[in-house]
Structure 1
Amino acid sequence: MKRSVLTRYRVMAYVTGVLLILLTIGCVAKYLLNVSGATGFVSIVGIAHGWLYVIYLVLAFDLGSKAKMPFGKMLWMLLAGTIPTAAFFVERRITRELEPQFEAVAEPVQA
């Protein structure tokens, strides 16, 4: 497995996580605080999160299948993009678990 698979997943985990937090804040502003300008914000961020979450799903599934993760762990990784802040914690945990595999495979640099 190449490091680029993990890097792509990590980038999309952060993007998805940030958008989901913004969407949550926007929904609180729109529905609980009755902020009139929040409607457009929620629409734009919601659409962006929806499309980018699909990309996140593809990349998370790619990483999970290449790392031969158990189904439960892969499912949790896929669902992390729907729970505010979960993507950050799951990404960190997955990275810690997979980093040793990359360090063991790294080739020594010749001078």
Structure 2
Amino acid sequence: MPPAPKLASFPAIRAALKFYQVCSVITGTMLLLLCAEMLIKYVLGYELFLGGSGGFLWFAPVVEGPEGLESTGDGLNLSLGILVAHGWFYVVYLFACFRVWSLMRWPFPRFLLLASGGIVPLLSFFLEVRVARDVRAYLKTREEAAAQADSPSPATEDRTRSIPTENTR
């Protein structure tokens, strides 16, 4: 079993948890957009464009070409933009997962579970809630235990008061 995180690392754990939570929500949202884009492209046969001849936001049909599906629209291809944005942000999400995982000193399969949150739709939202709950509960338990260990018990205080010192004799 790996050693427990040190109390001195708790502020870093809290910061890493906040970063993970933000990344988890963004990655989950981007993944849902990507899934919707893939369904629109491969099932309905359209891609989303910004600007160009079709107006501000519009769908252009895709056609079968010699190298697979090809766009027929002009303007900024938002379908491709969603794909690229999710891919790059997934790297940031992996870093956030790694940071929480390494600071908490969890086993490696837990890192794999966290990483899968960026590739399995909706999983990042469920993991974000569970990880936050687990980490906060762990930190609270350890801090309470440390506070109990640092504070003297009432019995100890009574004994130290009853011991005569040289000045009181």
- Report the more deviating stretch, 47-56 or 37-46: 37-46
Query: For residues 42 and 15 of structure 2, what CA distance do their matches in structure 1 show?
Result: 40
Q: Which amino acid aligns with 1:17?
A: G
Q: SS of 1:82's equivalent?
A: coil
Give 5+ residue unaligned stretches, structure 2: 1-9, 49-58, 60-70, 72-76, 145-169
Alignment RMSD (CA, Å): 1.7
- Report the more deviating stretch, 76-85 or 18-27: 76-85
Which is bigger in relative contact order (C-alpha 8 A, separation at least 6)? 1
Matched, 1:25 2:62: no
* Structure number with higher strand proportion: 2
Aligned to 1:89: 126
Matched, 1:34 2:45: yes
Matched, 1:16 2:27: yes
TM-score (structure 1 length as normaliser): 0.86
**Equivalent residues, number:** 106
Conserved? CA contact 1:16–1:56, under 8 Å: yes
Q: SS of 1:42's equivalent?
A: helix
Give 5+ residue unaligned stretches, structure 1: 107-111
TM-score (structure 2 length as normaliser): 0.58
Structure 1 residue 42: Cα displacement: 2.0
Matched, 1:61 2:98: yes
Aligned to 2:88: 51
Q: SS of 1:81's equivalent?
A: coil
* Structure number with higher helix proportion: 1
Q: Which amino acid aligns with 2:37?
A: G
